[in-house]
Chains A and B, each alone.
Chain A
Amino acid sequence: MAQPAIYSLFIINKSGGLIYYKDYGSAGRMDTNDSLRLASLWHSMHAISQQLSPIPGCTGIDLLQAHNFDLHCFQSLTGTKFFVICETGAQNMETLLKAIYELYTDFVLKNPFYEMEMPIRCELFDLNIAQVIQKDRLALLGR
């Protein structure tokens, strides 16, 4: 497949630390330092965007549109942020993020060996994420 629908996935804990990062074929590798900095940058921009709202009750950026990609962000009630970088105009990303959140609650939070707010290293979570992303790609191909 020439172009993946989803380029990468980030999960940020409530204090802005990157706890999960997966790349699905972005051009040019990003090193660990860069991804960590991007994550904390996103965390602070998310917070600033709430301050700049003209109307009360803002919960932060949920979609960023750029010329080459879209960024969809989902924040859980506990402050964990999930965001995907995808093709411009990609559909159903909210559902995908919800599905990823569900996997996170299942395979990360219910895992006794996971320490809260720490980087996620769970085999089952990796497996299931790969499946969900794959399914999403197939759905896109089927259009």
Chain B
Amino acid sequence: MIGVGKAKQYANVLDKPLSRGRQEVSLSAFAFLFSELVQYNQTQVDNIAELERRLEDAGYAVGARVLELLCHREKGNRRETRLLGILSFIHSTVWKVLFGKVADSLEKGTEHEDEYMISEKELLVNRFISVPKDMGAFNCGAFVAGIVKGVLDNAGFPAVVTAHFVPIEGQQRPRTTILIKFAEEVLHREARLG
């Protein structure tokens, strides 16, 4: 997770190194905070779509910041300009920094050219969450979808990102798939670049 980590104080924020070190946040602390985030947003909305949107918005801000930070830290102030490049950047670099591991899989949608899917057997934010039956297909992964959207948008790849539960055979728990649908202009640009 994004770590606040060590308590070492620097007189000037600019003196602080940007290297990452081992910065980890307690999973429980995160789980409680995230739980509160969901609960708070739940009191502010009157339908599930609205709740999903608010979680996405919360994630969007995280994504935008993460992109900025990681471009500087990992890529020497360069960012990906190609579609596959940015996707694998999210799949591996972003995921590793946020969740401590690479995402389980990154696939291209079979039906549509402009769809990509990042799947995770057990998404970290969903680790302790059981969605009640009356909330239908709601997925707290909307927060992560928001992060992905934040990264993509700010890297110049506008897209619609959604989180879904996908049941797997022989498993009691469905996995979570982050579905990314790129805007047309992105695909046109991609085609131009060849």
Q: Which of B15-23, B69-77, B126-134 contacts A (4 or more CB under 8 A)?
A: B126-134
- The residue of chain B having its C-beta at the shortest distance from the C-beta of A112 within the complex is B38
Give the total of A residues in contact with B, Cβ under 8 Å. 12
Across the interface, B129 reaches (CB within 8 A) one of A113, A121, A127, namely A113
Q: Does A125 contact B (CB under 8 A)?
A: yes
Q: List the A side residues contacting B44 at CB < 8 Å.
A: none
Q: List the B side residues contacting A111 at CB < 8 Å.
A: 35, 128-130
Q: In the complex, A19→B185 CA distance in Å?
A: 53
Interface mask (A85-107 → B, CB under 8 Å = 1, otherwise 0): 00000000000000000000011
Q: List the B side residues contacting A106 at CB < 8 Å.
A: 31, 128
Judging by beta carbons under 8 Å apart, are B39 and A112 in contact? yes
Asked if A112 meets B172 with Cβ closer than 8 Å, knowing A107-B130, A124-B130, the reply is: no
Judging by beta carbons under 8 Å apart, are A112 and B42 in contact? yes
Q: Does B9 contact A (CB under 8 A)?
A: no
Q: In the complex, A124→B129 CA distance in Å?
A: 7
Across the interface, B35 reaches (CB within 8 A) one of A112, A122, A124, A125, namely A112
B153 CB to nearest chain A CB (Å): 26
Judging by beta carbons under 8 Å apart, are A127 and B132 in contact? no
Judging by beta carbons under 8 Å apart, are A124 and B132 in contact? no
Judging by beta carbons under 8 Å apart, are B128 and A110 in contact? yes
- The residue of chain A having its C-beta at the shortest distance from the C-beta of B135 within the complex is A113
Q: In the complex, A71→B37 CA distance in Å?
A: 39
Asked if A121 meets B172 with Cβ closer than 8 Å, knowing A112-B35, A112-B39, the reply is: no
Q: Does A123 contact B (CB under 8 A)?
A: yes
Q: List the A side residues contacting B172 at CB < 8 Å.
A: 127
Q: List the B side residues contacting A110 at CB < 8 Å.
A: 28, 31-32, 35, 128-129
Q: List the A side residues contacting B34 at CB < 8 Å.
A: 112
Give the total of B residues in contact with A, Cβ under 8 Å. 19
Q: Does B36 contact A (CB under 8 A)?
A: yes
Q: List the B side residues contacting A121 at CB < 8 Å.
A: 130, 132
Q: List the B side residues contacting A125 at CB < 8 Å.
A: 130
Q: In the complex, A7→B42 CA distance in Å?
A: 38
Q: List the B side residues contacting A124 at CB < 8 Å.
A: 128-130, 173
B148 CB to nearest chain A CB (Å): 21
A99 CB to nearest chain B CB (Å): 16
Judging by beta carbons under 8 Å apart, are B132 and A107 in contact? no
Q: In the complex, A112→B54 CA distance in Å?
A: 15
Q: List the A side residues contacting B31 at CB < 8 Å.
A: 106, 110
Q: List chain B positions with a Cβ less than 8 A from chain A.
A: 28, 31-32, 34-39, 42, 128-132, 135, 140, 172-173
Given A110-B32, A124-B173; 20 other pairs, CB 8 A cutoff: A106-B31, A107-B130, A110-B31, A110-B35, A110-B128, A110-B129, A111-B128, A111-B129, A111-B130, A112-B35, A112-B39, A112-B129, A112-B140, A113-B38, A113-B129, A113-B132, A121-B132, A122-B130, A124-B128, A124-B130
> Which 5 residue pairs spanning A and B have beta carbons closest together?
A112-B38, A110-B128, A122-B130, A123-B130, A112-B35
